[in-house]
């Protein structure tokens, strides 16, 4: 079935409180998607962000990002007042997220709400039951994450690898002692995760009722400084001192003489296979609590991965190792059932990776920006198949308007000739490229919102290999017009991508 959707991160949603959240503006965007005949909303990972504010370096593979909790919804729940919200400073630029201001002030506001929430629990039995039910259902990861967060805060953000040995090794008596000492801090984390879960479920339910499905990202690797590594070191290749034996990265190539050193811990796939991939089963199930479809970032890692000795300062001494392959997905299908997954297979067109993608049955990705800068690339339209997802660009690409401006004359000429565009105006050329994506035989077409708006480099979400200025772009309030909605809908109807109304 042919469908289309829009890529638009939660943090980029317009908001009066510094960062996109599950507020009215998020519901308005769902209405925009419905009106534009879009069947999918693709977002980035929604876990609590770590180093560099990256959603791909999260403190937990299971938790939600408290920054996305809507203050307006807390006002509706009588947990905050407008005066309290309006007096908090979350940054002065409506075009960018100020993560420093968020870090300094968001929890202060949420702690006020937490105090009133505890008072409400005394009188509202239904709310108390809902809260206890959530904590019980999510106990597998919630207890460890809450304690990890509380201890980390006490240690001024220090990595768990530097904690005192008893806490690092999770000695039972040490954990019990710190639980008592940090009881209120731990319960504050429970509260934030409960409210996040409650607000997100309501928004996702609203989207589904509007016939809009959510695509969310699942990063292949987890952060070394995460609750996952601390609470489940057996999932990873760790030594007796709980330091990683090897870490992730990329081999030296024409772009980097010493390779890339990412630093993520490597999975102990042999141990995981013996456990029937229990941790991965729990992770996938949790992600289906968040999303309707999971896009797995760096799908190639399941085929093969590059492992670098932990103490090395470059990636030169790493080696290529085999991943779990199809065995992982066959096991997950038996335990979970149908896996609604999109494989991020960009830049890894090896025979092994293509074989794994074909055997899994998951759709891969085709990015037109890559297709128009390489002759007879696998990403241009005539190389597409039905079982794939076509994009103009992804969160790691510059918006297509900037891309059109920055490529060389030969590439721009090839692009124009391929799509038969005579438009000299770059904005019109962007829309011609979008049209080319819609024309593809790919079952699903996803367009970043910035491309529909013909925005330039100022709206780039992420520049790989850099640590500053990423994950900050925000859409200005009231920037989505009825004309834009109508134009998207007309193209969606023209190329038969209107989602079918599900039967009851």
Q: What angle do CA 26, 471, 497 make, to 5 degrees?
A: 50
CB 261 within 8 A of CB 247: yes
Q: Give me the catalytic one of 297, 436, 443, 472.
A: 297
Look up residue 303 and give its DSSP letter.
T
| Phi, psi for residue 325 in degrees, rounded to 5 | 65, -150
CB 113 within 8 A of CB 79: yes
The residue among 351, 215, 232, 235 whose CA lies nearest residue 290 is: 215
Q: Cα 267 to chain center, whole Å?
A: 20
Q: Cα 121 to chain center, whole Å?
A: 32
- Asked about 77 being catalytic, the answer comes back as no
Element (H, E) at 389: strand 388-391
Element (H, E) at 350: none
The residue among 2, 33, 28 whose CA lies nearest residue 13 is: 28
- Asked about 344 being catalytic, the answer comes back as yes
The residue among 1, 3, 2, 14 whose CA lies nearest residue 453 is: 14
Cα 340 to Cα 288: distance, rounded to the nearest angstrom: 9
Element (H, E) at 500: none
DSSP string, 229-291: HHH-GGGB-B-TTS-BSEEEEE---SS-TT-EEEEEEPB-HHHHHHTTTHHHHHHHHHHHHH-
| Phi, psi for residue 304 in degrees, rounded to 5 | -155, 155
CA distances 280 to 235, 267, 268, Å, are 9, 10, 12
CB 13 within 8 A of CB 29: yes
Q: Give me the catalytic one of 228, 344, 345, 472.
A: 344
The residue among 58, 14, 4, 37 whose CA lies nearest residue 487 is: 37
- Asked about 396 being catalytic, the answer comes back as yes
| Four-residue CA torsion sign, 235, 238, 242, 247 | negative
CB 427 within 8 A of CB 401: yes
Element (H, E) at 439: helix 426-439
Collapsed DSSP state (helix, strand, coil) of residue 263: strand
Residue 49 contacts by C-beta under 8 Å, 6 or more apart in sequence? Answer: 55, 57, 58, 59, 65, 67, 99, 471
In 220-310, which ranges are E strands?
A: 246-250, 260-265, 293-297, 304-309
Element (H, E) at 74: helix 71-76
Q: Give me the catalytic one of 130, 396, 405, 411.
A: 396
CB 12 within 8 A of CB 185: no
Residue matched to tokens 């001494």:
317
Q: Cα 58 to chain center, whole Å?
A: 10
Query: What is the set of active-site residues?
Result: 297, 344, 396
């Amino acid at each position: 079935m042919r469908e289309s959707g829009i890529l638009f991160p939660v943090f980029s949603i317009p908001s009066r409180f510094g960062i996109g959240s599950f507020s009215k503006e998020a519901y308005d965007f769902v209405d925009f998607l419905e009106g534009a005949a879009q069947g999918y909303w693709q977002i980035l990972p929604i876990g609590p962000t770590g180093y560099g504010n990256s959603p791909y370096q999260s403190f937990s593979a299971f938790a939600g990002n408290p920054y996305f909790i809507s203050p307006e919804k807390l006002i509706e729940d009588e947990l905050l007042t407008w005066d309290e919200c309006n007096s908090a400073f979350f940054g002065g630029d409506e075009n960018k997220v100020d993560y420093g201001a968020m870090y300094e002030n968001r929890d202060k506001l949420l702690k006020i709400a937490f105090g009133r929430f505890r008072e409400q629990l005394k009188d509202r039995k239904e709310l108390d039951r809902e809260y206890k039910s959530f904590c019980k259902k999510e106990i597998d990861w919630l207890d460890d994450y809450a304690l990890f967060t509380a201890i980390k805060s006490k240690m001024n953000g220090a990595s768990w690898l530097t904690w005192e040995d008893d806490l690092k090794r999770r000695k039972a008596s040490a954990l019990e002692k710190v639980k008592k000492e940090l009881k209120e801090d731990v319960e504050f984390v429970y509260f934030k995760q409960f409210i996040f879960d409650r607000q997100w479920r309501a928004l996702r339910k609203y989207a589904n009722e509007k016939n809009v499905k959510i695509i969310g990202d699942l990063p292949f690797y987890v952060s070394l400084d995460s609750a996952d590594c601390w609470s489940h070191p057996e999932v990873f290749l760790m030594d007796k001192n709980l330091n990683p034996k090897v870490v992730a990265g990329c081999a030296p190539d024409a772009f980097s003489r010493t390779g890339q050193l990412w630093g993520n811990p490597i999975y102990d796939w042999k141990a995981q296979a013996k456990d029937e991939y229990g941790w991965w089963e729990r992770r996938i199930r949790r992600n289906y609590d968040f999303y309707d479809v999971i896009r797995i970032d760096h799908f190639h890692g399941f085929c093969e991965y590059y492992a670098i000795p932990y103490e090395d300062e470059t990636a030169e001494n790493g080696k290529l190792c085999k991943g779990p392959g199809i065995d992982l997905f066959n096991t997950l299908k038996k335990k979970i059932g149908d896996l609604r997954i999109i494989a991020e297979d960009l830049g890894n067109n090896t025979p092994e990776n293509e074989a794994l993608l074909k055997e899994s049955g998951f759709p891969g990705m085709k990015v037109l920006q890559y297709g128009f800068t390489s002759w007879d690339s696998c990403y241009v339209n005539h190389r597409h198949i039905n079982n794939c997802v076509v994009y103009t660009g992804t969160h790691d690409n510059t918006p297509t308007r900037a891309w059109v401006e920055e490529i060389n004359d030969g590439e721009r000429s090839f692009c124009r000739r391929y799509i038969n565009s005579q438009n000299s105006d770059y904005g019109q050329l962007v829309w011609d490229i979008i049209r080319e994506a819609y024309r593809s035989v790919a079952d699903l077409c996803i367009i970043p919102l910035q491309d529909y708006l013909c925005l330039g480099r100022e709206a780039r979400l992420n520049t790989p290999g850099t640590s500053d200025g990423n994950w900050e772009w925000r859409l200005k309030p009231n920037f989505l017009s009825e004309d834009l909605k109508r134009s998207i809908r007309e193209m969606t109807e023209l190329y038969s991508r209107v989602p079918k109304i599900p039967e009851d």
